[in-house]
Amino acid sequence: MALTGWPDGPPLHPGRAIPARLDRLVCAISRAGGPAVDWGPLVSGRAAILGLRRQGRVSANGSCRLLRARDGWVALNMARPTDWDMVPALIGGPAGGWDALEDSVAARRADEFVSWARTLALPAAVVGERRAAEPPWTAAAVWPRADRGRPLEAMVVVDLSALWAGPLTARLLGAAGAEVVKVESVSRPDTARSTPGFYGWLHPADQQVVPLDFSSPDGRARLKRTLERADVVIEASRPRALEQLGAAPADLAGRPGRVWLSITGHGRSSPYRDRVAFGDDAAAAGGLVAWDGAGSPVFCADAIADPITGLFGALAVLHAVRDGGGVLIDLPMAGCAAAVAAAEGRGPAPAARPVAGGWAVGTTEVRQPRTPPPLP
């Protein structure tokens, strides 16, 4: 709540059903054989490390904005320096900053703008475009099943992902006893390394890291050998990236019981398979935003689709292992956000009032800290 709302106003409660859904999610992980965790520090952990604060329609990290279109709202995430090179093509005019983008969005329909942004490989979404599904993943049989009830302590998890969602899934599986091996490109290391505290929080010091040069035949061969011995593979690439390396699920031998977790922004199937997304725009796509008293959306927490997807990823893998594996799990971040935001609607979020030591919502005197809680 401390990360939701306008910077010069009180924090906003994102919706009473959302904490309850997150409670059920972490309970389900524990019942399925995973660790007992508190979702609060996981959701706000990065903000605590980076000192982020709520900024209304600007994401906590500053890269994403909620912009009004003619018929609704869109989220546009300029998370990479190269994204700004696409602005002239996006707006049909000279390069400009956020003011130019805001003017361009205001003159278009929301779906029209997002469709053109998607063509330019920019992370953009119509707020609330994704419908909730239960569960928010699908699993397709790829390899033979293994015997059910295999202990997680006997499994090797190979993590090809970066940033937040995939590494959090790997961290949770490691906490449940699995051996985790992180594979990292020597030319494109995990950008989370630029924040050592955040990286160290997600990656225990004893986690094995295997750096590989994916541009060399030897590096690609080592990558494939590493994946062949994996019981669980976690990746968050667009499908064509691993296909080009010869390291996609179809390229691996039929190891019984293997589980492949594919985390994407919007899904592996067309027309979504090459669509880019990050935590804030994926959350907006799933409708996981708060609405202020004037009917404007504001960001809910910090890139919240990332940690929520990490939690759902752990649950999906645990269920797959319980059922004998042999599957590829398609886990879209926008779908995870929609599952948590389901049926919240667009009513104004309850505003908090100050009380001693924090904030209170409604009449129950439930207190929330003024700043994100520290990491566990």
Instruction: List pLDDT tens digits, range 19-37.
Output: 999 999 999 999 999 999 9
Which pLDDT belongs to residue 347?
Answer: 66
How far apart (Å, rounded) are the C-alpha atoms in residues 52 and 2? 10
Percent pLDDT > 70 in the chain is 94
More confident residue, 349 or 138: 138
182: nearest Cα among 197, 154, 163, 195: 163
| Banded model confidence at residue 365, pLDDT cuts 50, 70, 90 | very low
| Banded model confidence at residue 362, pLDDT cuts 50, 70, 90 | low
pLDDT at 364 over 90: no
Which pLDDT belongs to residue 354?
Answer: 80
5: nearest Cα among 58, 69, 41: 58
Residue of 83, 190, 302, 306 marked catalytic: 306
The whole-number average pLDDT for the span 258-282 is 93
User: What are 85-133's pLDDT values in tens digits?
Assistant: 999 999 998 888 999 999 999 999 999 999 999 999 999 999 999 999 9
More confident residue, 132 or 358: 132
Check if 206 is active-site.
no
| Banded model confidence at residue 369, pLDDT cuts 50, 70, 90 | very low
- Using DSSP's 3-state secondary structure scheme, residue 110 falls into helix
The whole-number average pLDDT for the span 172-197 is 94
How far apart (Å, rounded) are the C-alpha atoms in residues 256 and 153? 17
The whole-number average pLDDT for the span 241-256 is 88
Which pLDDT belongs to residue 258?
Answer: 96
The whole-number average pLDDT for the span 278-288 is 97
pLDDT at 374 over 70: no
13: nearest Cα among 354, 373, 372, 290: 290
61: nearest Cα among 264, 278, 292: 278
| Banded model confidence at residue 371, pLDDT cuts 50, 70, 90 | very low
Cβ neighbours of residue 348 under 8 Å, at least 6 residues apart? 291, 292, 293, 295
Place of tokens 């910077």: 7
DSSP label at 375? P
Which pLDDT belongs to residue 223?
Answer: 95
Note whether 258 and 143 are within 8 A (CB).
yes
DSSP label at 188? S
How far apart (Å, rounded) are the C-alpha atoms in residues 26 and 315? 9
Cβ neighbours of residue 199 under 8 Å, at least 6 residues apart? 190, 192, 193
Buried b (16+ CB within 10 A) or exposed e, 135-154: bbbbbeebbeebeeeeebee
User: What are 289-330's pLDDT values in tens digits?
Assistant: 999 989 999 999 999 999 999 999 999 999 999 999 999 999
Which pLDDT belongs to residue 239?
Answer: 81
Element (H, E) at 311: helix 305-322
The whole-number average pLDDT for the span 335-344 is 86
Which pLDDT belongs to residue 343?
Answer: 59
Which pLDDT belongs to residue 15?
Answer: 81
